[in-house]
Amino acid sequence: QSAVTQPASVSGSPGQSITISCTGSSSDVGGDKYVSWYQQHAGKVPKLIIYEVSDRPSGVSSRFSGSKSGNTASLTISGLQAEDEADYYCSSFTSSHHYVFGSGTKVTVL
C-alpha cells in the first residue's frame, strides 16, 4: 500500500481546470524538489509530464503544471481535453534514496 496518497478520481468538463493532489511526508514529497508526475493512458506505458516539482520535459503541453506546498504536491491540468483522460501518478525520491509512487488518480473528461 502506497504511503503517498492521491484522490482516486477527478473529473472535469472540457476546457475546465482540474488539480490532483499528492500527499506524502517530510521523508518524501516534502523533503526535496524531486517530485515528478506521469500520465498513463489505458494499456500504455507511463509518460513523464512533470519533473522537479514544476518543470516540463520538452514536448509536454503547457496545460500541465506542477507545484508543491509542504508535504503536498499538485498537478494542474488547464483547458481540459478529451485526450487528457488517463491515470496520473506522482512519484518522489525519498530520504532513504528510494522512490515512492502515489496511489494514482483516474482523470475523467465529462
Partner 1 sequence: QVQLVQSGAEVKKPGASVKVSCKASGYTFTKFHIHWLRQAPGQGLEWMGIINPSAGITNWAPKFKGRITMTRDTSTSTAYMELTSLTSEDTAVYYCARERGEMGATELCFDYWGQGTLVTVSS
Residues that bind partner 1 (CB under 8 A): 2, 34, 36, 38, 40, 45-48, 51-52, 55, 57, 89, 91, 93, 97-104
Nearer to partner 1 among residue 48 and residue 110 (C-beta):
48
Please state the closest distance from residue 39 (CB atom) to partner 1, in A: 12
Please state the closest distance from residue 31 (CB atom) to partner 1, in A: 12
Q: What is the largest CA-CA distance in the chain?
A: 40
Separation between Cα atoms, residue 83 and residue 56, nearest integer Å? 18
Short-list 77, 101, 80, CA closest to 89: 101
Nearer to partner 1 among residue 13 and residue 42 (C-beta):
42
Nearer to partner 1 among residue 2 and residue 17 (C-beta):
2
CB 6 within 8 A of CB 21: yes
Separation between Cα atoms, residue 37 and residue 96, nearest integer Å? 20
